[in-house]
Amino acid sequence: MQSNVISASSTPWYLRPERGSVLGLRIMMLFYRLCGKFLTRVLLYPVVVFFFLTDRAGRRHSREFFERVYRSSANDSVLKRPPGIWDDFKRFYNFGSSMVDRLEVWGASSWLANVRWHGLEHFENLQEQDGAVVLSAHIGNLDAMRVAAKGETEKKIKALVYTKNADHFMKVLKIINPDTFQDVVPIQEVDALTIIQLKNLIDNGDALGLLADRIPEGSPDRVMEVPFLGEKALFPQGPWILASLLKCPVYTIFCVHTGRNNYEVFVEPVADIISLPRKQREEYLLHWISLYALRLEKLCCRFPHHWFNFYDFWAGKSSLQKEIDP
């Protein structure tokens, strides 16, 4: 008989409890309002040290990720030496720092930053279209990108948010700014009604932002294995199926914090319309997801300390099962 217990090291991201608390996020918000962004980042160090020391699995998976980046021969990795504990800690700190950025971005305060655009001409093309899907990942800060984009286009980028695993932070966002959810589309699952809602947003000229690197709860079979940093990893089919149903242009957009107040945004077109012919569905999905994974891999090698997936990304399909039958 097989055990139905999933080890912490292979637990899917959505089964790992959200760390921290509403109180902790409230305290961070209070520090930000009283001390400003710079001092809040300084005060962030002891908080990050606590989470770094107590998250053994996260440290291990972080080191495994850095080892893959270091060994990557297909890309020009910034890691020119074997990774060490400072790389692991820096990645944890950057994640905490991104939370501070989100407090500022969502707080309706004036957000000033130096933004360097790569592929801005594609974003200008986006402005002329009725609506679009923009795909990103848990690397950098998509929220900062959405605010930066407001200076380049009148289009609204609505963030499609999987709310269950980020319930604490969503509660704090409501406190920060009552108008938070004007630019957020919170969902638990994608059904026919959700599709109609999203299609209306696209038809109204909005852009819909999705994160396409994590497998949502309840979809362990809707995945595709593609090469990623030297080994096959699982990516969700859902964003691509959704994009095909919405029948609109698709882009990849990534935003990375590169300095004290500096950001770089990378925009690339994927397709005018994602087509998934019934008889060649698997083949076409493999093509689109592999293209996305390749772009993500190059970005990870360039900005490895801003990759914010702290679970075993290469665990395989077995770890997605909540229960294993005897």
- What is the DSSP pairing of strand 250-257 with strand 132-136? parallel
pLDDT at 216: 72
Domain assignment present for residue 2? The answer is no
pLDDT at 76 over 60: yes
The pair of three-digit structure tokens given for residue 289, joined into one six-digit string: 């997801």
pLDDT at 135 over 90: yes
Q: For the chain, what percent of residues have pLDDT higher than 90?
A: 34
Domain assignment present for residue 7? The answer is no
**Residues in CB range of 124: below 8 A, 6 or more apart:** 152, 153
| Type of residue at 283 | E
The pair of three-digit structure tokens given for residue 207, joined into one six-digit string: 């852009």
Residue listed under structure tokens 């095909």: 244
Q: Which long-range contacts (CB under 8 A, 24 or more apart) does 291-297 make?
A: 292/135, 292/212, 292/235, 292/252, 293/226, 293/227, 293/228, 293/233, 293/235, 295/252, 295/268, 296/137, 296/139, 296/213, 296/228, 296/254, 297/72, 297/74, 297/75, 297/228, 297/229
pLDDT at 307: 94
Based on the structure, what is the number of domains in the chain? 1
Most confident of 34-38, 208-212, 220-224, 305-309: 305-309
Domain assignment present for residue 5? The answer is no
Domain assignment present for residue 8? The answer is no
- Higher-confidence residue of 15 and 230: namely 230
**Residues in CB range of 299: below 8 A, 6 or more apart:** 137, 139, 254, 256, 266
Domain assignment present for residue 4? The answer is no
Domain assignment present for residue 325? The answer is no
- Higher-confidence residue of 191 and 24: namely 191
**Residues in CB range of 295: below 8 A, 6 or more apart:** 252, 268
CA atoms within 13 A on the CB side of 299: 27
Least confident stretch, 22-31, 59-68, 110-119, 162-171: 162-171
The pair of three-digit structure tokens given for residue 75, joined into one six-digit string: 């890309």
Domain assignment present for residue 289? The answer is yes
The residue segments making up the domain with residue 41 are 13-320
pLDDT single digits (tens) 251-300: 999 999 888 778 898 999 999 999 999 899 999 999 999 999 999 999 99
pLDDT at 259: 82
pLDDT at 284: 95
Domain assignment present for residue 71? The answer is yes
Sign of the CA dihedral running 107, 108, 109, 111: positive
pTM: 0.85
pLDDT at 20 over 70: no
